[in-house]
């Protein structure tokens, strides 16, 4: 065991639906992309081509990570709403602030 915090994630939607669910984070500039880094441009280019591109590994990883971060309260958008109080309790949204 390496001590890395690894979490199991069982998606409840398809890849396209997951990608749409986090687009507001990009549109509202909540996500920083270091454009001068080659690896970042690979991710950006693959994301631009999604879902018609040849690959979607980066997109899938990115969307799952951002959903986890959004649900955990690590990144948010002012228009975010919670479905019910139970969801808010599960994700402990009120207990977290921006980092």
Assigned token pair, 35? 């454009």
Does 5 fall in a domain? no
Average pLDDT over the chain reads 79
Residue 96: CB atoms within 10 A of its CB come to: 13
Residue 81 has what pLDDT? Answer: 55
For residue 6, tell me if it sits in a domain.
Answer: no
Q: What is the pTM for the complete model shown?
A: 0.68
The parent domain of residue 88 ranges over 15-95
Q: Is residue 21 part of a domain?
A: yes
Assess whether pLDDT exceeds 50 at residue 33.
yes
Number of domains present in the structure of the chain: 1
In a domain, 4, yes or no: no
The C-alpha atoms of residue 86 and residue 78 are separated, in whole angstroms, by 20
For residue 94, what pLDDT is reported? Answer: 54
Is the pLDDT at 95 greater than 60? The verdict is no
CA dist., res. 63 & res. 60, Å (int): 5
Alpha carbon 85 to its chain's center: 22
- Which residue shows structure tokens 């994630």? 9
Q: Angle, nearest 10°, between helix axes 57-71 and 38-49?
A: 90
Task: Decide if pLDDT at 15 tops 60.
Answer: yes
């Amino acid at each position: 065991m390496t001590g890395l915090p690894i979490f199991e994630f069982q998606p409840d939607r398809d890849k396209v639906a997951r990608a749409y669910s986090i687009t507001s984070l990009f549109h509202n500039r909540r996500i920083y992309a270091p454009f001068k880094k080659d690896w970042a441009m690979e991710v950006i280019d693959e994301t631009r081509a999604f879902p018609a591109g040849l690959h979607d590994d980066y997109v899938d990883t990115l969307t799952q990570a951002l959903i986890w971060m959004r649900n955990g309260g690590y990144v948010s958008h002012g228009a975010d709403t919670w479905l019910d109080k139970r969801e808010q309790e599960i994700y402990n949204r009120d207990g977290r602030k921006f980092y």
